[in-house]
Homo-oligomer: A and B are copies of this chain.
C-alpha cells in the first residue's frame, strides 16, 4: 500500500463512510462530528457502535468488500475519469449544505425524512470550484413527464437566470431538469447536475450528451462513488443537497404527490425560497405546483425570472418591474374628466349642460373638465357645443400632457395615453 498524507486519509475515510452507510445517516454524522472521520470509520469497521441496525448495515456492506480498498478503487476510477472528491476540509466545500444539520432531530415519518445529515464528501466532474459555482445558485426542478409548456418555461427561466450570472442547479432527470440544464448551457452559463448515482455513469443514459456538455462547462456532483446506480431512495436523499446548496428552489411542473414537493418542503425547512410556476389547470403536470401554493403560504408563485430574482436576488438589484397592462385612453385623466369625455357623442356635438347631465356632474365641474379636455386635445369646440377631436397624427402630445396633469408634473411622465382609442368603443377599458 502506497503512503498517504493525513489529508488523503481523511478523504479516503469519508469516501469509505459513504460506501459503508448510505449518505445522510444521522448516527454516522454524529460519530464523525464526535470522533472525526478516521475514528468513525474504524468504529464502524470494528462493529463498535451501539445501534445494532447500523452495525448490521455496515457488516452487510463489508461482506461485499473492504471499505478502505473500495475507497482507493473509487478514487483511482474517479481520477481516470477526470473526477475529483471534495470534502468539508477543502476550501471549495459548499458551506451551505451544513445547514442540513438544522433538519436533524426533527420528527421523521420515514427513513427519507431521517436521512438528512449533510454529505460527508462530494464527487465532482467539471472544472469550476464547487463553492463558487453554488454561491449564487437557484434550483430549477420538476416533473420528468413534463409538457412542452413546462419545458419551454424551464428552458427560458434557466436561460435568463444564467444570463444574469446565476448558476442553475437541477437533478439531471428527463423533462424539466434536462430543460433547465439546457437553458443554462444555451446561455453559456453555469449549470450543476446533482446526481443520485456515480458521476461516471449519470442517469438517465438518454441524457448522456447533455451530461457531457454539463461536465465540460459546469459540474456533475454526487454523494455516491463512481459506479453507483440510482435507486429510488437515493433520488429522495439527493434532493436535500439541491435544496440546501441553492438559494431557492423553483418547481416548474409537478404532478400531484410529486417528489418535487418534497424538495420544496425541504427548501422551506432550510429557510431557502420555495417557488412554483403555475400552469393551465387543465394540465396534470401543474397540479402539484398549484397544490403547493394552496397548502403552504410560504410557497411563492413565480411566473418568470423577474419574480425569481425578487425572491432570491440581492436587495436593491435584480428587482422585478411591476407588470403593466396596455395603456388605456383615459389613463392620464382624472375620473371626472374621463366621465365627461365618455359623455361626448361619437358623432356630432353636445352642449355643456347636456354633457354635465350625462356625466352626472354639476355644470361648473363639467365646464372645468371640458376646458381641460379641450386644452389636452381630446375635444374641440363645435358651435356652442363640444365634439371629439379628430384622431391626431401623433396622439402622444396631448396624452402625455394629460398624464402630466394627473401626475402633477410638468410633463415628464413615463405614462403615455393615446386619446385616439377613446373613440373606438363606449365601454373601452370597462371590465367586468
**Which residue numbers of A lie inside 8 Å of B, CB to CB?**
21-22, 52-61, 63-64, 110-112, 141-144, 149, 152-153, 170-173, 176-177, 196, 203-204, 229-236, 239, 242, 254-260, 262-263, 277-282, 286-288, 290-291, 293-294, 297, 300-301, 303-304, 307, 323-326, 330, 334-336, 338-339, 342-343, 353-354, 356-357, 360-366, 426-432
Contact = CB atoms under 8 A, between A and B. Distances in A.
Nearest to A432: B171
Given A361-B56, A361-B60, A293 B293 contact: yes
B343 A142 contact: no
B301 A293 contact: yes
Nearest to A25: B360
A267 to B, nearest CB: 13
Contacts of A149: 280, 282
Contacts of A110: 334-335
A177 B343 CA distance: 25
Contacts of A282: 149, 152-153
Given A60-B353, A294-B307, A342-B231, A239 B432 contact: yes
Contacts of A196: 427, 430
A85 B49 CA distance: 85
A432 B236 contact: no
26 contacts: A53-B361, A53-B362, A54-B362, A56-B361, A58-B362, A111-B339, A141-B432, A142-B432, A149-B280, A170-B432, A177-B432, A196-B430, A204-B427, A231-B427, A232-B330, A232-B430, A235-B430, A239-B431, A239-B432, A255-B325, A257-B325, A258-B431, A278-B301, A279-B280, A294-B300, A294-B307
A178 to B, nearest CB: 10
A281 B290 CA distance: 13
A363 B59 contact: yes
Contacts of A242: 432
A74 B394 CA distance: 43
B323 A176 contact: no
Contact of A287 (B59, B256, B323, B363): B323
Given A149-B280, A256-B323, A362-B60, A428 B232 contact: yes
A63 B334 CA distance: 25
- In the A-B complex, the 7 residue pairs with the closest CB atoms: A56-B362, A259-B431, A171-B432, A257-B325, A235-B430, A278-B278, A60-B356
A193 to B, nearest CB: 10
A339 to B, nearest CB: 5
Contacts of A362: 52-60
Nearest to A203: B427
Contacts of A357: 60-61, 63-64
A99 to B, nearest CB: 20
Contacts of A57: 356, 360-362, 365
Contact of A64 (B173, B303, B354): B354
Contact of A281 (B142, B277, B431): B277
A1 to B, nearest CB: 24
Nearest to A149: B280
A431 B303 contact: no
A316 B144 CA distance: 37
Given A255-B325, A323-B291, A325-B256, A432 B235 contact: yes
A224 to B, nearest CB: 11
A128 B366 CA distance: 41
Best-surrounded residue of A172, A234, A235, A335 (most CB of chain B within 10 A): A335
A323 B291 CA distance: 8
A279 B281 contact: yes
A83 to B, nearest CB: 21
Contact of A335 (B171, B233, B262): B233
Contacts of A176: 432
B432 A262 contact: no
A23 to B, nearest CB: 10
Given A110-B335, A235-B432, A301 B307 contact: no
Contacts of A428: 232
